[in-house]
Amino acid sequence: MSRLIVLSNRVKMPDNNPMAGGLAVALQDILTGNSVIWMGWNGDIFDSSDSGEINSFSNYKQAAIASPRMQGAHTEVTYMTTALTTRQYQHFYCGFANNVLWPMLHEQPELINQAQEDYAGYQDVNRLFAQQLKSIIQPDDVIWVHDYHFLSVAYHCKKLGIKNRIGFFLHIPFAPLAFWQRLAQSCELIKHLAHYDVLGTQTQQDKAHCLAVFQHYLKDSLLEDNVLEDSLAKNSLLDFLPINVLYSKQPVTRAHTASGTQLKLHLELKPQHALIINAYPIGVNVTKIQQQVSHVFSPLSLSSIKHIQNNDTVKPISQRIIAVDRIDYSKGLLERFSGYRDFLQQYPAYQNRLQLLQIACPSRLDLSTYQRLYKEVKQAVYNVNQQFSPNTDSWQAIDYSEEVLSHETVITAFCQSDIGWVNSLQDGMNLVAKEYIAAQNPDNPGVLMLSRYAGAAEQMQAAVIIDPHQPKSIIEGLKAALIMPLGERKSRYQALLQGLQQDNLHAWQQSFLDDLYLDNLYDNKKYQTDSDSPEAVQMSGS
């Protein structure tokens, strides 16, 4: 039986502890009920300098509830995790991943801070996980690697002789060529990325950036470029697939049907290699979110939620805005507070009537950039509240919380808020935008105010689209959202919800695996000989 092995930096263990970060939560949601191995870092750090210890992997297996399409098949999830050494944590995680790749891919090159050993440490950890994959791989297994921590894993797998299909999905933006060119290791990293069989981005724009970067760095390796039909058009191949418990033969309706692009490459480790590059916009589990909030579609106030319960003397708030973010410079928190302050100054009638609930999760505080940002965020909140509500026993302009909340608690807060505000300066997708819409009461939905720079904006044009770099755009967008009539709110909500239902979380999973599994067979049957190949288009080397 073909197994799916998933590799991500963090693994969400099957416990009740909330976890910040959409990637691990999303993966947990789709992997439940399927026989898979989920591999990654367990979050622990150990000092190997004294003991001489090396990384060891531990396994935890949990039986999973089979979904209806599984027809009673026995399934389980195996969690395979390891701790990182202090050195690995410093150079791989803090160093190259988050001090180099994260700012570069988010188009913030001025924040890149690379130590001499960071890149070697990054490659060491990518090689470590490739070696672990080699130790457990079976002939029919397929590997699905996630995010910027593991750009080089496929390359190291191929060097170790692994011939299995390997897919890669980037959850954050794929930066334009100009930003890759500022990084000395970019050429090697792109050559490593080319060893994947399927490379997925969040948006069509990211896909275009990816193709341009590959064309630049691999111009001497590119043989030809084929535009493929959408993978779902290959339904005739379904009966020949290896048995895979993750794959469903049930049709999936998708709004996103843009075709992928195949690059034929001459690589040192594989002279004739086919790489599929496509956009697979990640979604949310709409049904699950709607079930979580079905019991709270009532005029309850957010103050009834335990984690944000205010003093009993606080006067009722007329309208509430909610924002949920990690404290990261890509999220536009400082721009949000500044724009909100400007709005309250321009429209003083909203003072004492409007409140911004900011749920902010500190992260990466081992890095100086994040330490500085954390202090700036706290100071900005204090300044706004001091300006408009110096008496803390009365109305506060910003209700600020750093508590890591359960997913259900956050979803409940979404459905009880009048506006959901996503203010990203650069984002791969930003699932908060999609979760906010999924959580709304159809009879009285709130309004999504969405940054044009969030990946979600490519699909969610019925939101109130704003430019967080333009204070006037924020003010106008906020005013429009606050006064929007019920009929328009319902119309926008229905349009957005329809998109979420079509491009939901499981459709994202299946569309990627369609290409990872189906194109394996399609490649073997259709592209082995020139006579079987579709007409190719020569890619320019310039």
Can you tell me the distance from the alpha carbon of 515 to that of 277, in angstroms, rounded to the nearest whole number?
Answer: 10
Which value, in Å, is the radius of gyration of the alpha carbons in the chain? Answer: 24
- The residue assigned the tokens 């300006």 is 387
- CA dihedral (320, 324, 327, 331) positive or negative: negative
How far is it, in rounded angstroms, from Cα 82 to Cα 40? Answer: 7
Residue 519 has a pLDDT of 52
pLDDT band at 518; cut points 50, 70, 90: confident
Dist. CA 275–CA 402, nearest whole Å: 42
Beta-bridge partner residues of 400: 358
**What whole-number distance in Å separates Cα of residue 468 and Cα of residue 483?**
20
Residues 6+ apart with CB under 8 A from 188: none
* pLDDT tens, residue by residue, 416-457: 999 999 999 999 999 999 999 999 999 999 999 999 999 999
DSSP assigned state of 308 = G
| pLDDT 10s digits, 83-127 | 999 999 999 999 999 999 999 999 999 999 999 999 999 999 999
| Residue positions counted in the chain | 542
Confidence band for 68, pLDDT divided at 50, 70 and 90: very low
Query: What is the full DSSP assignment across 187-215?
Result: HHHHHHHTT-SEEEESSHHHHHHHHHHHH
pLDDT at 456: 98
* Side-by-side strand order, sheet with 319-326: 398-401, 354-361, 319-326, 419-422, 447-451, 464-466
Residues 491 and 225 sit within 8 Å (Cβ to Cβ): no
- Distance, in Å, from the CA atom of 179 to the CA atom of 177, rounded to the nearest integer, reads 5
Per-residue pLDDT, averaged over 505-518, amounts to 91
Q: Is residue 418 within 8 Å of residue 319, measured between CB atoms? A: yes
Pairing status of strand 419-422 against strand 57-64: unpaired
Task: Please report, to the nearest 10 degrees, the dihedral formed by the alpha carbons of residues 41, 44, 45, 50 taken in order.
Answer: -110
**Per residue in 234-269, pLDDT tens?**
333 333 333 333 433 333 333 444 578 999 999 999
